[in-house]
Amino acid sequence: MLDITCVDCGRTLIGARQIISMTATPEGLRIAYVCWCGRPGAETTGRRRRGTTGPRITARRPVATAA
Ligand SMILES: [Zn+2]
């Protein structure tokens, strides 16, 4: 499983079947993938961390208001 950030879906876990290729770069392992939604993307994992942007949680659940 790999933790990716899809443009459409946000933070998503994908499996090995979604991974297209892995390329070693000086910054780490660059992983090309296709999200569950079909959108391709690439994520670089490894040594370097990109800032400290906390987990972006978007709660899209409609608030059930009692009548
Ligand atoms: Zn997606």
pLDDT tens sequence across 27-51 = 899 999 999 999 999 988 876 555 5
pTM of the model: 0.62
58 CA from centroid of ligand 1 (Å)? 14
Distances (CA, A) of 67 to 3, 61, 64: 40, 18, 9
Q: Name the token pair of 1.
A: 């499983």
58 vs 37: which has the higher pLDDT: 37
67 CA from centroid of ligand 1 (Å)? 35
- Using a CB cutoff of 5 Å, list residues around ligand 1, an ion: 6, 8-9, 35, 37, 39
23 vs 50: which has the higher pLDDT: 23
54 CA from centroid of ligand 1 (Å)? 19
